[in-house]
Chains A and B, each alone.
Chain A
Amino acid sequence: MEALEKDKAASDLRLYYAMLDAYGSGDETRSVDLLLRWPRARLENALAEVNRSNDPRAPWSPRIHGLAAMLHTDVALRLAPGAETKEAFWHIDLASRLLSPGTTQKAVDIRPLAERWYEAVARALRDRSRAYVAELLLRLGRTRLPDNPVVLRESGMLAELFATDYALIGSSIAYSTSHGGTVRLKEIISRRARNLDDAARWLRQAVGLDSGNELLAVHLGRVLTLRHDDDAAVVVLGAVSTTGKHAEAAYLASLFLGGLRERQGQLDAAIDAYRDALSHLPSAHAAYVGLSQVLQRVGQSDESRAVLLVPLTHKAGPTEDPLWWYHIDKPGVAERRLESLRAEVRQ
């Protein structure tokens, strides 16, 4: 009986390799479809035979590691939009293990691929509104790829997202026709503070490891602003705004400085910051709105209207604001990132 089961597992491993080969030749849909039909136990039994005497491809090459990781990633992404979070995460965990340093027999450093994989999959999950699965993924990354700037950056940015757009999601607020609404404000505030603490810690570490990344510094500066750590935020955002090497990063840094100054009641400084932002990116949108509003508050109504009309009538060219893509990728970018990884492992 045991021998029969072992034969079955060995035979399934061969089928698994057939799926990997199909995936490697570009037949992604069919291989994912086939793998999705396998019960978890069958897959676990087949994978238990890997690198044993029955395994015709032992030891696994880095290419097989990469192909298998991406196949399981695609299975997870197929499952993720639905309710099968647990099942999706099982495949993500497996893919993450396959890409852990030291899992390949040959002296090939799988770390660069793993780093890109964590970024691509985390962004793809965010793109599919599965940010909480992305956090589980990055938790694995922080363990299996410690002190990695990409994993830390993605972790910090996701925690920042949780503290902003996602701050109110998750059982704190209930609306009901029969019971009216309730807000558990303390719960929201304390959870948000934890998110901001995590974001600040990870982004600081990431900036320490990747100091030339200005957009990363902007995220740190904004998180510091949200924590009301204003002095530190001004230093970080001010540096990016002044350097101005990367126009979008400099714009965002000045824009966030404008918001910070406005919140502090320093309206003249806010006006300067918004104007700085527009000097970096005259075709933006949000800084005009911010500037217009502050001008109106200080009684400069005519100029307030004039400033507002610039983006609304496209006087500075077609409007596009980096703020709109601050938390999310532009349409198609997350998918292109994944496609590039698929192409890489197929080589």
Chain B
Amino acid sequence: MRATCLTALAAIVCLLPPQTFRSSAEGVRVDVLVLDGKNPVGGLTAADFELRDGGIVQTIDSISMEDVPLSLMLALDTSRSVEGAALGHLKDAATAVIRLLGPADRAALMTFSGAITLRTPWTSDRATLDAGVATAEASGSTSLYDAAYAALTLRDHQPGRQLVLIFSDGDDTASWLPGRNVIEIAKRNEPVVYAVELAPQPIVVSTSGPFGQRTETVTRPAPGYRLDFHSGIQDRVENAPNPILLRRFLNELADETGGKVVNAESSERLKETFLQVINEFRSRYLLIYTPRGVDSRGWHPIEVKLKNRRGQVTARRGYLR
């Protein structure tokens, strides 16, 4: 049986393109969002940015915006909790995003519960993507970390701008991988991660104490991903301060990759939120530079600022090569 399995793997390997962070001869690609308040800032040129790699100011070779095709990986949580109306809203949102793709854009569709399923491999054919959306069903637990890993790993081999849009309405309950490993993988891969979530609604809790009855509004999301005692591979828990231990997986993943976490608040608003994400992503700048004066291997922290302009810049924290 093992021999059969390995033979099958070898066959698949031959069909797949190589995967690396694009930081070799063609230069490093950094996807950058510039906002003024909530609005994207357009019309910027390379001269408006200051980009540092490992603290060294770099020359930006090229800057582009909407003219680069989009490669979108949709990774959708279809665990039991999205059963019913929410699944319908989620499918509508995915379909609306597919409608928004241009002729040169490509997308793939992945759903996850306990299992992860690649429903539609990379394609620019909308009908194939729609068919993938139609087959999604809700059941089971939530392998959020494993799915995020898969979405990052199976990025498109075409030279488009890589966006992973993850939707999840809850926290991980079934992954093999710990969140920490996935964050490390994200540093090695190019895609920008936008996460759309349905944050838990606050609940009112009454407690009795020495000073009598007290009522407060409380939200109870799961604790930070560093306190994961569920996954298969568990390192010792670090003795880190509260803000680090409470840091949530999707927030960390988005920050590391230069993306964002957006709370749709209700499933009815998923379509609107998904479309906002795509539109915002299209308003980002793609900066390409050839690293100079920095080490060729290891972790490269990146810092991107605006020169003489107002605006909030979001970009990945760095890259590994």
The answer on A and B forming one complex is yes
Task: Verify if B221 is at the interface (C-beta below 8 Å from A).
Answer: yes
Q: Flag if A310 contacts B9 (CB, 8 Å).
A: yes
Q: Flag if A311 contacts B115 (CB, 8 Å).
A: yes
Q: Contacts A175-B219, A289-B177: A323 and B232 contacting too (C-beta < 8 A)?
A: yes
What chain B residues lie within 8 Å of A340 (beta carbons)?
Answer: none
Q: Indicate with 1 or 0, residue by residue over A242-267, a CB within 8 angstroms of chain B CB atoms.
A: 00000000000001101100110000
Q: Flag if A323 contacts B176 (CB, 8 Å).
A: yes
Quote the shortest CB–CB distance from B41 to chain A (angstroms): 32
Contact of B9 among A256, A279, A301, A303 (CB under 8 A): A303
Q: Indicate with 1 or 0, residue by residue over B172-195, a CB within 8 angstroms of chain A CB atoms.
A: 011111000100010010000000
Q: Flag if A315 contacts B8 (CB, 8 Å).
A: yes
Q: Flag if A292 contacts B153 (CB, 8 Å).
A: yes
Contact of A306 among B9, B175, B202 (CB under 8 A): B9
Q: Of residues 188 to 229 in B, which have CB atoms within 8 Å of A's CB atoms? A: 188, 202, 216-223, 227, 229
Task: Verify if A163 is at the interface (C-beta below 8 Å from B).
Answer: yes
Q: Give Cα distance in the complex from A185 to B246, angstroms.
A: 11
What chain A residues lie within 8 Å of B232 (beta carbons)?
Answer: 255-256, 258-259, 286, 290, 323
Q: Which listed segment binds B: A128-136, A164-172, A202-210?
A: A164-172
Q: Indicate with 1 or 0, residue by residue over B144-177, a CB within 8 angstroms of chain A CB atoms.
A: 0010011001100000000000000000011111
What chain B residues lie within 8 Å of A307 (beta carbons)?
Answer: 9
Q: Flag if B229 contacts A192 (CB, 8 Å).
A: yes
Task: Verify if A85 is at the interface (C-beta below 8 Å from B).
Answer: no
Interface residues of chain A: helix, strand, loop or mixed (majority): helix
Q: Give Cα distance in the complex from A192 to B234, angstroms.
A: 13
Contact of A312 among B118, B140, B229 (CB under 8 A): B118
Q: Flag if A168 contacts B227 (CB, 8 Å).
A: yes
Q: Flag if B242 contacts A286 (CB, 8 Å).
A: no
Contact of B218 among A175, A296, A301, A314 (CB under 8 A): A175
Contact of A324 among B5, B153, B174, B217 (CB under 8 A): B174
Q: Give Cα distance in the complex from A91 to B234, angstroms.
A: 39
Task: Verify if B38 is at the interface (C-beta below 8 Å from A).
Answer: no
Quote the shortest CB–CB distance from B154 to chain A (angstroms): 6
Q: Flag if B1 contacts A309 (CB, 8 Å).
A: no
Q: Give Cα distance in the complex from A314 to B219, angstroms.
A: 38
Task: Verify if B245 is at the interface (C-beta below 8 Å from A).
Answer: yes
Q: State the 4 A-B residue pairs at the shortest beta-carbon distance, nearest first.
A: A279-B2, A286-B176, A167-B229, A306-B12
Interface residues, chain A, with chain B CB atoms under 8 Å away = 163-165, 167-168, 173-178, 181-183, 185, 188-189, 192, 226, 228, 255-256, 258-259, 262-263, 275, 278-279, 282, 285-287, 289-290, 292-293, 296, 301-316, 319, 321, 323-324
Q: Would you give 22 A-B contacts (Cβ < 8 Å), ordered by A? A: A176-B216, A176-B217, A177-B202, A177-B217, A183-B227, A185-B239, A226-B234, A255-B232, A278-B5, A279-B1, A279-B5, A282-B1, A285-B115, A292-B153, A301-B19, A302-B16, A305-B154, A306-B9, A315-B12, A316-B8, A324-B114, A324-B174
- Additional A-B contacts beyond A286-B232, A301-B18 (18; CB < 8 A): A164-B229, A167-B229, A174-B218, A178-B216, A185-B239, A259-B232, A279-B5, A286-B146, A289-B149, A289-B176, A293-B185, A302-B16, A302-B19, A308-B154, A314-B117, A319-B115, A324-B114, A324-B174
Interface residues, chain B, with chain A CB atoms under 8 Å away = 1-2, 4-6, 8-10, 12-13, 16, 18-20, 110, 114-118, 121, 140-141, 146, 149-150, 153-154, 173-177, 181, 185, 188, 202, 216-223, 227, 229-230, 232-237, 239, 242, 245-246
